[in-house]
Structure 1
Amino acid sequence: MKNLFLSLSFAVIGSALSLSSHADQMTIAKGHAVFMATGTSLTILPDPSSEQLSCTYNNGVFSSGSSAGIEIPLPGAVDVKLAGNDLYVATLKAPAGLPIPGAAENSYVKYDVSACLPDVPFTPSIARADLAAGELVIPCVLVDGQEYNVVMNQRGNSMNWEVIFADSGCQ
């Protein structure tokens, strides 16, 4: 009986943690804009927050202008990806088949956000190292004209490092 109770307890706790991890907002920062899928909307904020965005949003189109922030109602918005000047927002239906009003089932919405990403001088982030954990993160490495964010792990106790993850684009 104790084992059954313990097993069920772990199952319930694991399920709760799984659901809470899916509720986290997904964020991408590029240029001087931060794009967030919040579950109910797409939110765009300036970075740093003391400045204005270089774009506005009217009638489904981003255009040049100035705004303190933009919030677009988008039920079921769970993730954002940026490819060039195109922002893709993934939308999902609610768990257990309960539809979210206004959201398509497991789909995405595409926006041209070039107005929010003006050509500005780029200042790369600082490389971070956690030597105790054996991890080194090098942002914005330019390789053959392509930009990458590189994560490296230390091999054993040596000073040899191996690339374990390279994400395209500087964010």
Structure 2
Amino acid sequence: MKNMFLSSSLVVIGSVLSMSSHADPMAVFKGQAIFLTANNSLTVMPDSPAQLSCRYDEVNNVFISASTTTPSSVRIPGAFDVKVVGNDAYVATSTLVNDVPTTNYVKYNVSACLPEGSFTPSIVRADLSAGKMTIPCVLADGHEYRVEMDQRGNSMNWEVTFAEPGCQ
């Protein structure tokens, strides 16, 4: 009985932690655009004061070529994560179906937001109060990586917590 209670408790705690972890905004830097999921939406904005090359067309439900300095948003209920692969943005969603959390994704062609041309990696972004740093492009042993780092305690020492091939 004790083991069953412990197992049930761990499942409940894991579910609560999993659901609460989806509340933080997620951002991806690609080309000269930032793709951000927060507040039940996907927002695309320029990574600098320069103009963005796309806007969201609500009538046709697509991103189209347009020059704007205003971020472009599309409402996606339950949006909690975004991944840009090639010319497509995959937005992960989480909703309740019969009181059971269900994860799905929505796909958008964002090629209009990723203009052709030479790529200049973004600058390193750090949130020193949170102890987080993202390096969009590191060349190591002839390979390019995007790296995320966490600060160790109150020191200025950092440790790599995530790395993926390619620059964003």
Fold shared by both chains (TM-score > 0.5): yes
Contact 1:31–1:117 (CA under 8 A) maintained in structure 2: yes
2:86 and 2:34 map into 1 onto residues whose CA distance is 15
Shift of 1:86: 0.8
SS of aligned partner of 2:119: coil
Shift of 1:110: 0.5
Contact 1:29–1:35 (CA under 8 A) maintained in structure 2: yes
Task: Give the 5 Å matches for 1:1-171.
Answer: 20-48=20-48, 50-58=49-57, 59-67=60-68, 68-94=70-96, 97=99, 105-125=102-122, 139-140=136-137, 147-149=144-146, 166-171=163-168
- TM-score (ref. length: structure 1): 0.62
Contact 1:40–1:76 (CA under 8 A) maintained in structure 2: yes
- TM-aligned CA distance change 1:38 to 1:94, over 3 Å: farther
Q: Which runs of 5+ in 2 are unaligned?
A: 1-13, 126-133, 150-159
- TM-score (ref. length: structure 2): 0.63
Count residues in correspondence: 137
More strand by share: 2
2:90 and 2:73 map into 1 onto residues whose CA distance is 15
Shift of 1:46: 1.1
Shift of 1:121: 2.4
2:47 and 2:37 map into 1 onto residues whose CA distance is 16
2:161 and 2:22 map into 1 onto residues whose CA distance is 25
- Specify the structure having the higher radius of gyration (Cα): 1
Q: Describe the superposition over 1:101-122 as per-residue Cα deviations: whole angstroms up to 9, x where unpaired.
A: xxxx411001111110112322
Contact 1:31–1:120 (CA under 8 A) maintained in structure 2: no
Shift of 1:92: 0.5
SS of aligned partner of 1:92: strand
The runs of 4+ residues in structure 1 deviating greater than 6 Å are 14-18
- TM-aligned CA distance change 1:22 to 1:164, over 3 Å: closer
Q: Which runs of 5+ in 1 are unaligned?
A: 1-13, 100-104, 129-136, 153-162
1:110 and 1:146 map into 2 onto residues whose CA distance is 29
2:136 and 2:27 map into 1 onto residues whose CA distance is 17
1:169 and 1:56 map into 2 onto residues whose CA distance is 26
Q: CA RMSD in A?
A: 3.7
1:114 and 1:146 map into 2 onto residues whose CA distance is 25
1:125 and 1:36 map into 2 onto residues whose CA distance is 16
Shift of 1:62: 1.3
Percentage of matched positions with identical amino acids: 56
Contact 2:139–2:145 (CA under 8 A) maintained in structure 1: yes
Shift of 1:142: 6.5
SS of aligned partner of 2:83: strand
Question: Which deviates further from its counterpart, 84-93 or 38-47?
Answer: 38-47
